[in-house]
């Protein structure tokens, strides 16, 4: 990917219809190809953020509702905004400033972070997940290192900002 923002339109069939000028290496070679294959975006937990059905899901939402998140595109963090416009989705990918996050969390680290966000102690998280509190502490250390923060509270705040944790009515959604 290049260093500037990339904007493109995706049709209902999931294929890229047009790419903005000045999109560097993302140019016209992407037109006609499936969006999820070109972007190949991964969420900060390592799971796929894009898929064959994402355009249909987004165009079924209320007008002007956007999906915003941070993704890894070719191993580089980007902010991705997908906005439904009629029967298309406009996708904007913008490289993140350095230092947003170093690498994705493992699914287990995401699970631990969700329980930390609920206010659980290491011992309680260990009991819930069937692991020792020492293992939970190691996961917490790795989470803080990957997110480049120093405290559990900072990890939760960063997790919310990056879309690792989802907001839910009355707190953080742990059902993901």
Each residue's pLDDT tens digit, 97-134: 665 555 678 889 989 999 999 999 999 999 999 999 99
Residue 174 phi, psi (nearest 5): -100, 5
Q: How confident is the model at residue 176 (pLDDT cuts 50, 70, 90)?
A: very low
- Quick one: CATH architecture of 107-173? Orthogonal Bundle (1.10)
The rounded mean pLDDT for the chain is 75
**Contact yes or no for 93/5 (Cβ under 8 A):** yes
- Residue 169: what pLDDT? 40
* CA dist., res. 52 & res. 31, Å (int): 16
Domain with CATH 1.10.10.10 in the chain: 107-173
Helix, coil or strand: residue 133: helix
Neighbours of 25 (CB within 10 A): 10
Q: Is the pTM of this model over 0.75?
A: no
Nearest to 68 by CA among 51, 49, 82: 82
Nearest to 95 by CA among 132, 124, 70, 131: 70
Average pLDDT over residues 157-169: 69
Q: How many C-alpha atoms does 89 have within 13 Å on its Cβ side?
A: 31
Residue 70 phi, psi (nearest 5): -105, 135
Residues in contact with 62: Cβ distance below 8 Å, sequence separation at least 6, in sequence order: none
**CATH class of domain segment(s) 6-95:** alpha beta
Domain with CATH 3.30.450.20 in the chain: 6-95
Phi-psi category of residue 66: left, alpha or beta, with phi > 0 → left and psi -120 to 50 → alpha:
beta
- Residue 139: what pLDDT? 96
Average pLDDT over residues 80-107: 76
């Amino acid at each position: 990917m290049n260093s500037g923002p990339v904007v493109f339109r995706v049709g209902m069939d999931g294929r890229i219809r047009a790419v903005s000028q000045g999109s560097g290496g993302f140019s016209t070679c992407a037109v006609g190809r499936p969006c999820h294959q070109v972007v190949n975006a991964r969420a900060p937990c390592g799971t796929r953020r894009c898929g064959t059905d994402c355009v249909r899901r987004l165009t079924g939402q209320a007008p002007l509702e956007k999906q915003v998140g941070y993704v890894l595109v070719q191993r580089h963090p980007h902010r991705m905004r997908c906005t439904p416009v009629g029967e298309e989705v406009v996708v904007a990918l913008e490289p993140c400033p350095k230092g947003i996050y170093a690498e994705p969390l493992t699914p287990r680290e995401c699970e631990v972070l969700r329980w930390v966000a609920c206010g659980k102690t290491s011992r309680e998280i260990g009991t819930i997940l069937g692991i020792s509190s020492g293992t939970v502490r190691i996961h917490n250390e790795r989470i803080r290192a990957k997110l480049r923060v120093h405290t559990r509270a900072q990890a939760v705040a960063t997790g919310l900002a990056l879309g690792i944790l989802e907001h839910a009515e009355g707190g953080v959604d742990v059902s993901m």
